[in-house]
Structures are given as C-alpha cells and as structure tokens.
A = this chain, B = another copy of it.
Amino acid sequence: MNYYNKLERHAKKLSRLGHLNAICGWDQAAIMPNGGAQARSEAMAELAVISHELATASYLENWFTEAETEELTPEQRVSLVALKRQWMMQNILPAELVEQQSLTGSQCEHAWRSQRKTNDWEGFKTNLKPVVELARQEAAIRAQATGLSRYDALLDIYEPGMTSAVLDGIFTEVKSWLPQLIQQVEAKQATEVTIPLSAPFAIEQQQALSLDAMKLLGFDFEHGRLDISTHPFCGGVPTDVRITTRYDENDYTSALMGVIHETGHARYEQGLPQQWRDLPVGEARSMGIHESQSLFCEMQLSRSESFSRLLAPMIQQAFDSKEDSLSAENLCLINTRVKPGFIRVDADEVTYPAHVILRYEIERDLIEGNIEVDDIPAIWDQKMSQYLGLSTLGNFTDGCMQDIHWTDGSFGYFPSYTLGAMYAAQFMATINKEMNVEQLVSQGNLTPVFEWLHNNIWDKASTLSTDKLVEQATGETLNPEHFKKHLIERYLNN
C-alpha cells in the first residue's frame, strides 16, 4: 500500500470515529434522558482523546512527505491537499491551549446562561476576557503557520480562502444601501395588513406538516430522520442525517421554517458524493456554502410567493382550517415581513446582514487587537443605531450578550451566514437563467432545481476551492449584486 492509500485509510478511520461521535452527540441533544449526561460526556471525551491521538500521530508527517512524491491521479492529488489541510488544522494548536479553551469556553457559556437573564455585563466580561485572550493566541499561532492575518487565520477555519479584505469590500458596499433599503421596505409594508395566525397549532399536526415539507423538498428518509431538540440543528452523517426542530404551539412558522432550513443543510449532506465518502475532500465545501444550501431552501425557495401558494393548501390541510390567516397571500406577507429587531436569530432576511456585519466588524477588531472586550457594548450600540436604528445602551441582554456564539471562542464564523445568503441568491439567479423556477414551484416540481444544486454544488464536495466552485456553477465568483437584486425584487418591486 502506498502512502497516499495509507493516509486515506487513516482518514476513513477518523471519519468513522466521527460517525460515532455524531450519532452519540445527536442522541445527547435529542433524546438522552438527563441522568445519562455525565457518563455520556465522559464517553465522548474518551473518544475525542483517541481521535486526537490518531489525528496527530507522529508518523503522519512522514506519510505526507512520502505521499507527495508518489504518482497520484489528479483526483488523488486534490484529495491529498484536503487530507493535509485537515491534518495541519488538527496539529497546529498545542494541546494545553485547546484544553484551556475548552475549559474557559465552558465556564463562560455556563455563567452566561444566568448572567444574560440579569443583564450582568460586568460578570460576563470577566469570563469573556480570557476566552478572547485564548482566541487571540490561537489566531496568532494560525496566522504564523498560514501567513494570514490573525482574524483571517480564524476565518479560514470556516471559509477557506476568504479574507477580511474581501469581506470589508463586500460589507462596505452592503452598508451603503442596506439601511436605506430597510427603511423603504418598512415604509412599503406599513400599509400592508397581515392577518395574525390563530393559535394554538397542535404539535402533532406541526410534525406532520414538517414531514410533508421535507418530502416536498426531497429529503431522503432512507438516509435521515426528523426529531426534536431544544436547539435545532442538522447532525448525523451523510448516510444518516439527523435534523431536529422544536415546536411552538403559538406559532407553527418557526418550526416549519426551521425544518425547511435544516432540510437544505441535510440535502447537501445527503448529496455529497459516495466516491469520496469518509474523506476530507468529500466533505461540504465551507460553512458559507453549507449555509447557502439551507438559505436557498428557506429564503430563496420557501419565502417566495409561488412557494407560499404551494405550501398554503398543505398548511390548511395539516391544521384542518381554511381561515383567511392561512391563505397563500397572508402566508406570503408573514414570511416576508421586515422589522428591525435586537435579536439576530429572530431577524428577517433583509435585516439579518446588518446583524452579521456588526458582529463581523467587532470580532475582527477584537481578534486583531484593535479593540478590547470592555469596548464592545459602546461599539455595539453605535453600530446597532447606525445599521438598524436601535439603541442597546445598557441593554446587554438584547445586545452583546444575546447569544452563545462568542462564549466558546468561535470567532470567524459569523460572516458565513451572510456569505451563505449571497451565494444562495447567486445560485438562484443562475438557475433562473436555465429554467423557470417560479413555474416549476407552482407545479410542485422542485426536482430540476435540486438537480442543479446536486450537479453543481453537492456532488463537488471539497474538490474545488469555494471560488472555483462558485465560478464553475454560476460563471463568476461571489457577486453580492445578486443578493441586493433579490432583496429589491422581493421586498420593493413585488
């Protein structure tokens, strides 16, 4: 066996341990009884240690050196690059740093749960400071190894190839038109009358509706399931994708839209190529591309007028009601309602980028050392006022303490959300050139649309760089203009 093949076998071994971790992690989040928590954590920690030992085994360096001199097919060479990237990513940090990060992250997150409720910024910031400090150390190590700037070195974990220089360009442009657009949309929607939904919506009926929506979107139930968890997610493995949701009796749309979003993630995973299964080159391209698939389903498809017309009879049937509030017209109004708010996860499609840009600008400056933790609330308030016209002065709960994203030190992830929205718009624009999506949707025939995604995105996995992937699929690299056009088209010109 040559060294490339040895590396492949080693990566598959790691991937299979990852499989066990994914299933036990899903179980933990979705169905494990509370009393099982400690033993489960211990068991998963044991697996993490074994995986880490395998991933950082000392013989691997030599295997890579040897493999690089071997005669490989072009495809194997691409795979080797992905293998090496994964190996380097896992080897770059000293074990003590990772351990310290895990510890301070848990501490910060745990305290945050009560501190958020009492608006306790003073308490929270004492925990956040060491988290940021360790993230800076990580960034410095990664920067030195990759030649990237500190923040870019973190960004690179989630969005290989993306830089803050590119992001700054994109987001500056967005900021030049977004606040005004939001105002225009708000003014336009001020005269629209939305009929409120009449709750309650029985959970059993919501569940049936969710499954119907998943079927409509082509979720493969031979290779996945829908279950319930407090924090919805898409987990499992490509051959067995586990998506979760939570049901609110007062508002069925949160579960339904959540399920549609996760179905987008799930179809990407289920559509990854069999040929590269269990290898890094066969994994999803990036977090931004992953998010583009969920947002394609949730935003591009499901919040469109034609999709509302397709869904309305399903919704009416699920709840056995023909009320006006469940008419296609009203559902479309509800699904496209724009209203600036404090909370990112509750934000609509138009205001969402403002939240992301705010978070990006703060985390970039934090990691680069241009600002300190103490500066966050003032900057947050200033940017919220500027982008969304809302003040968070003294309101930490709905400001910089609103979610757990930073508590564990995952800086560099935020841009993926808006990059995903932009990629999704660009994909839809391209698909619309090749077929009449609106017509297909009204016919309930989504197959050609998903076939395009399958051929152009899912099947490519990580064989191409993000830029190449997007260029091959759409004829150009990331072009945020499509996203802007989409927002104007849907929210102003309709």
Contact = CB atoms under 8 A, between A and B. Distances in A.
Interface in A36-57: 36, 38-40, 42-44, 46-47, 50
A239 interface: yes
A223 B36 contact: yes
A35 interface: yes
A42 B191 CA distance: 59
Interface string A230-254: 0000001111100000000000000
A23 B221 CA distance: 21
Nearest to A225: B33
A48 to B, nearest CB: 11
Contact of A224 (B20, B33, B43): B33
A16 B31 contact: no
A240 B33 contact: yes
A244 to B, nearest CB: 13
A69 interface: no
Contact of A237 (B39, B225, B240, B277): B39
A181 interface: no
A454 B107 CA distance: 37
Given A23-B23, A24-B24, A46-B13, A222 B39 contact: no
Secondary structure call for the A interface: helix
A274 to B, nearest CB: 10
A32 B13 CA distance: 21
Contact of A38 (B36, B38, B42, B239): B239
A19 interface: yes
Interface string A210-223: 00000000001111
A438 interface: no
Interface string A1-42: 000000000000100110110011001000111111011101
A386 B17 CA distance: 53
B222 A33 contact: yes
Contacts of A240: 32-33, 35-36, 39-40
Contact of A46 (B16, B38, B225): B16
A242 to B, nearest CB: 9
A23 B13 contact: no
B43 A223 contact: no
Nearest to A236: B36
A223 B35 contact: yes
Contacts of A16: 39, 42-43, 46-47
A103 to B, nearest CB: 20
Interface string A370-407: 00000000000000000000000000000000000000
Contacts of A238: 39
A277 B35 CA distance: 14
Contact of A20 (B24, B33, B222, B278): B24
A104 to B, nearest CB: 25
Contacts of A237: 36, 39
Contacts of A236: 36
11 contacts: A13-B46, A17-B43, A19-B43, A23-B24, A24-B24, A32-B240, A33-B223, A33-B240, A35-B240, A36-B239, A40-B239
CB-CB nearest 3 A-B residue pairs = A36-B240, A19-B43, A35-B222
Given A16-B43, A20-B47, A24-B24, 16 more contacts: A16-B42, A16-B46, A17-B47, A19-B39, A20-B20, A23-B40, A32-B240, A33-B223, A33-B225, A34-B222, A35-B240, A36-B240, A38-B239, A39-B237, A39-B238, A39-B240
